[in-house]
Structure 1
């Protein structure tokens, strides 16, 4: 049963970019979130939080994997890039979607997943500069902050809310209407009708 979402953690990973998505995935109580490191040794996020990985990337249960998330971060080493690309390919070929934001996006290109699907990133030209073998330039969409296509989710470093929305949709959390209300609430501070009604009642009572 695919009920586990894996998130890659490493020294310098941008924890805030994936925090909202992780919180929403855990909310229904049907999904398990597990952190995967290059080893089981503790790592320090960009925000200064120490995380002890639940397991190493070599220990992923591909049969249980519902999603693999790659956060951004500025401390990617060359050996980590190749290892991560290999892990991404394994997860994707096993039938689970993969998601990347910010500097995680070029890792999907390195794994060969962005050549034939619509995707986005930090800015046009970045992926090709970092991954010479990348040939998905015509599939790059510079007009969105996050997009999902063919089991591949990509997002700009400015699109953590949109990134969470695409993950919520991919995992089929909530219904379509609730997902839209969720996005309006977090993106534009527009409360859903039931909360807006409660606010009016409170104001009138006061």
Structure 2
């Protein structure tokens, strides 16, 4: 079965620890993961990793994507340089293609108005409240939330973030998804046997 690629946004100061569980599991499941930058210029993560984007944001279309992932970055709270990524998220959601945002990217989506009518989470509620958005009543104090095709999570929950993405795309379900989470989040050795039996990793 043909699958469209998953698109991972990359920009300077991106939090490189936040999306690794998701992208590694998606790649193992057969998805192509393609990086997307505002331009073709190399960017550098918070951890100092240099990433050369595969694609330029303006060339990415929801019709050719399975998912857009937006990691956190210091730049989300330092002006509007990353606003085009939030606008692209709106384009994806309007087209019925899911978006996953973690950490600072949730504030970018709040500013874009994308959290006003969807259940969501982030680092803490007052972080999003500072954006002036109107969705405070939909905030959930949870490790990760999925609503209306949008996954959100805080910076300390990369495994829960990945779990919601894997659920949303149907990579793992039920007992297997639960075992995947227990293995990587709780270091539950018994969960490995479930994944091995199911042919999952």
Please give the TM-score of this superposition, normalised by the length of structure 1: 0.88
C-alpha contact (below 8 Å) 1:88/1:111 kept by paired residues: no
- What 5-or-longer segments of structure 1 have no aligned partner? 199-206
Shift of 1:193: 5.6
1:64 alignment partner in structure 2: 64
2:180 corresponds in structure 1 to 182
Deviation string for 1:39-62 (max 9, x for gaps)?
A: 010011111111100011101032
Counterpart CA distance in 1 for 2:120 and 2:154 is 10
Question: Which residue pairs with 2:22 in the alignment?
Answer: 21
Larger Rg: 1
2:50 match = 50
SS of equivalent residue, structure 1 residue 148 = strand
More displaced, 49-58 or 108-117?
108-117
In structure 1, the residue corresponding to 2:80 is in which secondary structure? helix
Q: Which of the residues 155, 162, 165 maps onto 1:167?
A: 165
- Note the C-alpha offset of 1:66: 1.0
Q: Where does 1:50-129 land on structure 2 (aligned, <5 Å)?
A: 50-76=50-76, 77-129=78-130
Instruction: Quote how far apart the aligned CAs of 1:149 are.
Output: 0.8
Please give the alpha-carbon distance, in whole angstroms, between the structure 1 residues aligned to 2:108 and 2:3.
23
Q: 2:155 & 2:38 partners in 1: Cα distance? A: 23
Match in the other structure for 1:204: none
Inter-partner Cα distance in structure 1 for 2:117 and 2:37: 28
Q: 1-side partners of 2:3 and 2:175: how far apart? A: 25
| Cα distance, 1:191 vs structure 2 | 2.5
Partner of 1:135: 134
Aligned equivalent of 1:37: 37
1:7 equivalenced with 2:8 (yes/no): yes
Please report how far the alpha carbon of residue 194 of structure 1 lies from its aligned counterpart in structure 2 after TM superposition. Answer: 6.3
Per-residue deviation at 1:93? Answer: 1.1
In 2, distance between residues paired with 1:188 and 1:166?
A: 16
Give the alignment's Cα RMSD to 1 decimal.
1.7
User: Is the CA contact 2:75–2:81 (under 8 Å) kept in the aligned structure 1?
Assistant: no
1: CA distance, partners of 2:178 / 2:68: 24
C-alpha contact (below 8 Å) 2:144/2:152 kept by paired residues = yes
Q: Which TM-score applies when normalising by structure 2?
A: 0.90
CA distance in 2, matches of 1:107, 1:175: 30
Measure the CA separation in 2 of the matches of 1:78 and 1:183.
35
> What is the deviation of 1:182?
0.4
